[in-house]
Structure 1
Amino acid sequence: MDWDKLRVFHAVAEAGSFTHAGETLHLSQSAVSRQISALEDSLKVALFHRHARGLLLTEQGELLFRTAHDVFAKLAMTEAQLMDAREKPSGEIRVTATVGLGANWLTPRIREFIELYPEITVNLILADRELDLGMREADIAIRLRAPVQPDLIQRKLMTVNHHLYASPDFLKKHGTPSTIEDVIDFNLIVYGDEAPTNIANVNWVMKELSELGKEIVPVFKVNNVYGLLLAVQSGLGIASLPDYIVQGHSNVVRILPDMGGPSFDSYYVYPEELRKSKRVTIFRDFLIQKVAESAF
């Protein structure tokens, strides 16, 4: 089987169109189309259903794509291992993290890592869904729960705690609650219906008030922790936030410090195949050091 045509097929299957695959491969749409047609002719099977809205893999195309994806993933893994065999670590590491953790805690620390290891490029993928490390959607994941896949290596990174926060302007205008019962008289911001499922009792303030016989209607709901932070910073009200997300934000103040919400461990996760990767271990050790320097 022609490797060039297989490479083009893999790109088209991932992109879902000749045009988008051509942009990735730096080829024209017609050149990509000719390569696919030639591959189909040589295999004597149709690999795609052509539709006006795009391309869909046939049953035979799905089979070839699964095999090709596995082959290219293994080649990428081998390339990473060969690059790590050099004395000085270099190349790209693809790291995935949730939007809140990745944007607010991890991103501000990347500059220091790049200054220490200028030959390494960090490709940060922010996604609240869990990317499949086994299928090489990323090399490293910072997860807010322990992975369940048996072929992944995990290292506890930090314990995430939640507390109540508000902006100084909000507290100056409305006062500061001294007990959890007082929160009933303040604007409360909570997670919406699509709250993170990996955090137990994420809207713990609502539950606490309910158990005290207090019913409250939140002033605002949002399904993303970064949205909660921005709402608090704007002076809208009080919200439960993970402590890591408020670091570096002087316009956010913890209230009721003895009243804590849910806590959970976060993990540095990577595939077994990357156990000996210098880039993976260097980045892991760097983050462990940064966690130790943080005061959560």
Structure 2
Amino acid sequence: MQWDGISEFVYVAENESFTRASKKMAISTAQVSRQVSALEKRLNIKLFYRTTRKVSLTEEGRVFYQHCRSVLDGLDAAEHAITNLHSKPQGKIKLTAPVTYGEQQVLPLVNNFISQYSDIEVSAYLSNRNIDLVDEGYDLAIRLGKLSDSTMMAKKLGKRTSYVCASPRYLEKHGVPHALSELSQHSCLLGTLDYWHFSELEREKSIRVSGRLRYNSGFSLTDAALKGLGIVQLPDYYVEQHIKNGELISLLDSYRAPDEGIWAVYPQNRHLSPKIRLLVDYLAEKLR
């Protein structure tokens, strides 16, 4: 089989645009279009639906894309395996992570990592925005919870547990809730959402809560809980140590929501170079 047009076809499929594909490949749009048209003619198959606003894969195109993507990934992996066989990891890594989790968990580990590899440079941008890795040129993202973007590859690094908890002082004054329905009788410390997640009879359930305080800061909510201002639901890295030393009491444990995943996410059309694979494996080991 001839290889002409395969790369152009894959780039168009992944970018849903001949123009964007040409920019990524650093060739003209006309050349991309010619190569794809020649490929369609050679296969005698229509690979794309084309309109003035959108380019999308046909059913045959989707099947062909999956096979072509696997072949190109295999070639890319083979090239990297040979060129990096005797070389040590080096170069730049551009990554992003959620603000608090990045500050508290990810970047301290990255600091430990780069202390072991003097030829690796890391640029990190912490944001709670769901950054487009391809468009903004990121190699890697650390994401929490359910993943929504199926065009990305992902490796699970670990998990996080959410706790509902309050201080002994608050519970002595207001009582201990033993059922989800009792939360309406308590002052709940709110983040950005009006509801908390639970599991009841093996089904996920959301409960609307209310209270006097609403902060978009987990640290501030933890401080409020420690000072007896209400009940809070937060991930383990905010409250677990306080629960262990008795400053906070874990509540409604039988209703605790399922653990959420911690993920390393990267573009599926980008082979993991040795430096990025090393970092991902390192984070997986430490965050497990």
Is TM more than 0.5 here? yes
How many percent identity over aligned positions?
26
Contact 1:47–1:60 (Cα < 8 Å) also in 2? yes
Alpha-carbon deviation of 1:39? 2.0
- 1:239 maps to 2:232: yes
Among 150, 153, 162, the alignment partner of 1:138 is 153
**SS of residue paired to 2:114:** helix
Contact 2:221–2:232 (Cα < 8 Å) also in 1? yes
Residues 1:115 and 1:83: Cα distance change in structure 2 (over 3 Å)? farther
User: Which blocks of at least 5 consecutive residues in structure 1 are unaligned?
Assistant: 145-158, 167-174, 207-215, 248-253
Range moving further from structure 2, 65-74 or 22-31:
22-31
Q: Could you tell me which amino acid in structure 2 is paired with residue 125 of structure 1?
A: A
1-structure distance, mates of 2:39, 2:80: 29
Which residue of structure 1 lines up, in the alignment, with residue 72 of structure 2?
Answer: 72
Which residue of structure 2 lines up, in the alignment, with residue 218 of structure 1?
Answer: 210
- 1:284 maps to 2:281: yes
Which residue of structure 2 lines up, in the alignment, with residue 125 of structure 1?
Answer: 141
Matched residues, number: 243
Deviations 1:223-256 (A, max 9, x none): xxx9673783796964221222569xxxxxx953
Which residue of structure 2 lines up, in the alignment, with residue 189 of structure 1?
Answer: 190
Alpha carbon RMSD of aligned pairs, Å?
5.2
- 1:229 maps to 2:226: no
Q: Could you tell me which amino acid in structure 2 is paired with residue 32 of structure 1?
A: V
2-structure distance, mates of 1:243, 1:100: 12
Range moving further from structure 2, 44-53 or 226-235:
226-235
2-structure distance, mates of 1:202, 1:255: 28
Deviations 1:84-140 (A, max 9, x none): 52252347889998897567522443233233224457732244444899x9x4363
- 1:111 maps to 2:111: yes
| TM-score for both structures, normalised by structure 1 | 0.57
Alpha-carbon deviation of 1:287? 5.2
Q: Could you tell me which amino acid in structure 2 is paired with residue 241 of structure 1?
A: L
Query: What pairs with 1:50-89 in structure 2 (closer than 5 Å)?
Result: 50-82=50-82, 85-86=85-86, 88-89=88-89
Q: Could you tell me which amino acid in structure 2 is paired with residue 162 of structure 1?
A: Y
- 1:162 maps to 2:155: no
2-structure distance, mates of 1:106, 1:141: 14
Alpha-carbon deviation of 1:45? 2.6
Alpha-carbon deviation of 1:31? 2.7
User: Which blocks of at least 5 consecutive residues in structure 2 are unaligned?
Assistant: 123-138, 241-245, 266-270
Q: Could you tell me which amino acid in structure 1 is paired with residue 68 of structure 2?
A: A
Q: Could you tell me which amino acid in structure 1 is paired with residue 218 of structure 2?
A: L
Range moving further from structure 2, 79-88 or 233-242:
233-242
Contact 1:48–1:58 (Cα < 8 Å) also in 2? yes
Which residue of structure 1 lines up, in the alignment, with residue 21 of structure 2?
Answer: 21
Which residue of structure 2 lines up, in the alignment, with residue 47 of structure 1?
Answer: 47
1-structure distance, mates of 2:119, 2:252: 42
Contact 1:142–1:266 (Cα < 8 Å) also in 2? yes
Q: Could you tell me which amino acid in structure 2 is paired with residue 187 of structure 1?
A: C
2-structure distance, mates of 1:160, 1:40: 50
| TM-score for both structures, normalised by structure 2 | 0.58
2-structure distance, mates of 1:232, 1:83: 50
Residues 1:266 and 1:80: Cα distance change in structure 2 (over 3 Å)? farther
